[in-house]
Amino acid sequence: MFASKLISNSTAAGRKSSAFVATYDVAVGRNSYFSTPTTRRNSTTPTTTTIDSSGFDKIGCVGLGLMGHGICQVAATSGVHSKIIAFEQEQRFLDSGNDRILKSIDKLVEKGKLTLDDANDAMGRTEFTTDMDALRDVDLVVEAVIENIDLKKDLYTSLGEICKPETIFASNTSSLSIGEMAAFSGRPDRFLGVHFFNPVQLMKVVEVIKTDDTDPIVLEKGLKWVEEIGKVSVLCGDTPGFIVNRILVPMLMQSMSLIDRKDASVKDIDVAMKLGCGHPMGPLHLADYIGLDTCYFIVSGWMEKYPDESDFFIPACLQANIEAGNLGRKTGKGFYHWEGEKRGDPVY
């Protein structure tokens, strides 16, 4: 088996798990219209980077769950870095993350998309550890832990004290304020958002988020790094949901409001958006796939923080599904009936 041939640094600490929740950066797979390169249009920043290299020789990946292990893998296989420090606070999570990376790289080798030598090199430059002090001298820290602002406050406070003053921090959050986390770090001028999409290994686009405090050179380095690891950057300010989720989530809520008003059926809403807009799946199918609880969690958080924003509301049919425990694909029922990954007939 290929994975057994890899140069594994598990002795340095082990592997890690997906105990971290990736919000709903979702899974429309290879045909996703979200992977189309987008030109940056912002009068205050250049549309292309003006630097030759990010200068990120040694980076840290904090959190190796669903999103974090993918970010770590993409960084390792890019060949850009001399060392990747893969950090988890608990050994079981570290072990699980290591396992996921090994299995994913194994598949790439089996499919001929990565050579055995390159796979060995990628794992050889990755150090798995539960010791946060190992992040002390990295050039960039990419954080991908659970969407809990209190947890992130503690994390960034610690990282701000441990890491060298030059280290740049980047959060993979999809729903929390970059500016708020930047303040926790004690270095708001050296803080960015880098929002990857699931699955990280396949999805090309990365939202790079700047705040009013972000140093222009730090922003340039972040944009360049995204390019260096083979992704396409789109630039956004620190607005709720950034670009994709700010458009996507209100669209899902509007689709559900059509159900509330009995204006259209689940089937017809999804068919209309697939054939009328070229979407790979309809919005209610997508909401079920994401998880209705996740949709509810995201919008509820936005409503609490931005009570005057009319785009943020909970449709009655979503509330009813949540109260009934019908969360979509994961529970077998939502707007559709589900058998595992197979979608059945509409419920409504």
Active site residues: 174, 195, 207, 245
Angle (deg, nearest 10), helices 283-290 and 266-277: 110
205-210 and 232-237 strand pairing: parallel
Query: In three state form, how does the secondary structure of 57-74 look?
Result: CEEEEECCCCCHHHHHHH
Per the annotation, does 174 bind a ligand? yes
Angle (deg, nearest 10), helices 283-290 and 292-305: 90
Stretch (H or E) spanning 209: strand 205-210
Tokens matching residue 80? 């850009």
**What are 276-285's contacts with CB under 8 Å, separation 24+?**
278/33, 279/33, 280/28, 280/29, 280/31, 280/32, 280/33, 281/28, 282/255, 283/251, 283/252, 283/255, 284/252, 284/255, 284/256, 284/259, 284/335, 284/336, 284/346, 285/335, 285/336, 285/343
Stretch (H or E) spanning 83: strand 83-87
Contact 63, 143 (CB under 8 A): yes
Return the closest-CA partner of residue 105 out of 235, 234, 39, 201: 201
Stretch (H or E) spanning 251: helix 244-260
DSSP H helical segments within 2-124, as ranges?
68-78, 91-110, 116-124
Return the closest-CA partner of residue 278 out of 75, 36, 48: 36
Rg of the chain taking only CA atoms, in angstroms: 20
Question: What is the C-alpha to C-alpha distance for residues 100 and 211, in angstroms, rounded to an integer?
Answer: 33
List, as residue ranges, the binding site for CoA.
104, 111, 174
